[in-house]
Amino acid sequence: MGKLYFGGCMNRTKLLVVAIVLCTLSVTQATIFWGNSSGNGNGFDWQNGQSLYGLFGDPDLVNGNTFVFFPENFRAESTNGLPGSVSDKLEFELIAHPGFSFQNILVTEYGDYGILDNGIVDVSGGVTVKNMNTSNSLFSSLTTTPSMPVTDGIGEWQAGTQFTIGSTNWTHIKITLENNLFAMSQYGSTAFIEKKVLGNAISFQIIPEPATIATLGIGALFTFCNFRKKLATI
């Protein structure tokens, strides 16, 4: 069987996203709040934790400065040429304690994918950090490894971005993450892509003292994730 040509797939993906937006404009979409939508971390409080469809789930707070999510059913799958897509939007606010400001924000997520025979999978999205004191905003698209879209094989993917803030007046911020997964297959084939874990590592700088940064490393995040997986199998 010849390889399916997906030269125009990205254009079709954009049209699909537009169609979804148009269809939801007339519908009042209620957000789903986390079970722990507010709380306290090291040097900050969080509030209004929510997502549009609840696919991210509720986070665990690790090391006092890192939210780790274990998404369920955040998966796009295509069989016999029928496209599959899924998206969600995550939002929450962070308020720094006196003497602290937000200086570094690291967003990292992981997942896996599989293409059996002929197909294509894609991950896209972006992160916005808004200063609630000034209404200034920073935006960054997610960078993926491997580069997306992927057209063959079975493997794992990683996406993320990082913000380094030079000003000390970022003491009340709102983080918004929009995430989209897409899968397309040829007739007789299957393709899927899913999200497995998301971590937002947040570090702080004490003012006016020198920076004190304590982010959760990727290795530690994997260790924590593996620990959770082992608990789930007991």
Residue 111: what pLDDT?
95
Overall average pLDDT of the 94-118 stretch: 94
4 domain-assigned: no
| Residue 86 covered by a domain | yes
> Cβ neighbours of residue 217 under 8 Å, at least 6 residues apart?
none
Structural domain span for residue 67: 9-233
Is residue 69, in this structure, part of any structural domain at all? yes
Among 117, 106, 123, smallest CA distance to 62 is for: 106
pTM of the full structure: 0.77
Asked whether residue 3 is domain-assigned, the answer is no
Looking at the chain, the whole-number percentage of residues with pLDDT higher than 90 is 65
Tell me if 2 is assigned to some domain: no
Please indicate, yes or no, if residue 1 is contained in any of the structural domains: no
Banded model confidence at residue 160, pLDDT cuts 50, 70, 90: very high
Number of domains in the chain: 1
Higher pLDDT: 142 or 18? It is 142
The reply to whether 35 falls in a domain is yes
* Rounded Cα distance, 119 and 80, in Å: 10
The 10s digit of each residue's pLDDT in 20-64 is 232 333 344 569 999 999 999 999 999 999 999 999 999 999 888
